[in-house]
């Protein structure tokens, strides 16, 4: 039943990712700032949509593979064997609930939970594009009392978690599509892009907040020194 458990966990992972990557509010275009950054760094909302759709497709194929393996064999053993070979050429020798996969699931759940908590803490102020509302206030409670940019911490955990779950041996992406080298290249490109977006945005956000709130922001930054992870960065 390990494939059923894997498929179930992938569905849970996709649902949490959906919650974390769905904008809680529309972007009011007239309040946007930092719009001069390179186009490649402005497509974060599109990237969120793409990997959200991708995770749901993976969840569907994982479920199909599991059902075929356990139910299809009783209906048509030959067809089930062929589909098994096509869906998971090498995965039968891999543990579907490997340590890396389970770590990935946990990291995605953690990252998604952090992001949703940030949505709740900022309320109407949280948009996926950088905006400064006329009624904007400096939020220092909840996760914002621990690090200054916790939503990016959540995003990084999502990226790491998805890579652990779906870009390692035994996953559909590795076994059927990308291969080990392709998966490594995808993760490297995705991680570099994520860090570039985070760096570009945090500097812009800190600069805008400092300009808007002055001494209040200075006191907050002195008290909450770290961007993503307390004591490290």
pLDDT digits (tens, 9 = 90+) for 81-105: 555 555 555 455 567 788 888 999 9
Tell me the backbone φ, ψ of residue 96, rounded to 5 degrees. Answer: -60, -25
Res. 223: pLDDT tops 90:
yes
How many other C-beta atoms can be found within 10 angstroms of the C-beta atom of residue 189? Answer: 10
Res. 36: pLDDT tops 70:
yes
pLDDT at 85: 55
Sign of the alpha-carbon torsion through 145, 149, 154, 157? negative
Asked whether the beta carbons of 133 and 57 are under 8 A apart, the reply is no
CA distance 13 to 95: 18
Res. 69: pLDDT tops 70:
no
Q: What is the pTM of this model?
A: 0.86
CA distance 56 to 51: 9
- 138-170 pLDDT, tens digit per residue, is 999 999 999 999 999 999 999 999 989 888 877
CA distance 172 to 10: 11
**10 vs 232, higher pLDDT:** 10
Mean pLDDT of the chain: 83
70's tokens: 């356990």
Asked whether the beta carbons of 125 and 137 are under 8 A apart, the reply is yes
């Amino acid at each position: 039943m390990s494939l059923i458990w894997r498929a179930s966990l992938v569905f849970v992972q996709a649902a949490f990712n959906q919650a974390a990557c769905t904008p809680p509010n529309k972007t009011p275009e007239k309040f946007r700032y930092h719009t001069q950054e390179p186009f490649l760094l402005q497509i974060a909302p599109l990237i969120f949509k793409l990997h959200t759709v991708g995770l749901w497709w993976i969840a569907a194929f994982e479920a199909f593979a599991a059902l075929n393996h356990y139910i299809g064999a009783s209906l048509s053993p030959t067809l089930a064997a062929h589909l098994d070979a096509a869906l998971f050429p090498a995965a039968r020798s891999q543990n579907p609930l490997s340590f890396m996969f389970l770590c990935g699931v946990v990291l995605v759940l953690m990252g998604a939970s952090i992001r949703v908590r940030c949505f709740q803490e900022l309320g109407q102020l949280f948009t996926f594009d950088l905006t400064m509302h006329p009624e904007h206030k400096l939020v220092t409670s909840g996760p914002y009392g621990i690090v200054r940019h916790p939503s990016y911490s959540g995003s990084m955990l999502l990226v790491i978690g998805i890579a652990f779950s779906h870009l390692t041996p035994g996953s559909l992406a590795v076994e059927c599509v990308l291969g080990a080298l392709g998966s490594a290249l995808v993760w490297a490109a995705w991680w570099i892009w994520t860090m570039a977006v985070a760096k570009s945005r945090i500097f812009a956000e800190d600069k805008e907040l400092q300009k808007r709130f002055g001494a209040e922001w200075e006191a907050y930054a002195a008290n909450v020194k770290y961007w993503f992870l307390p004591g490290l960065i």
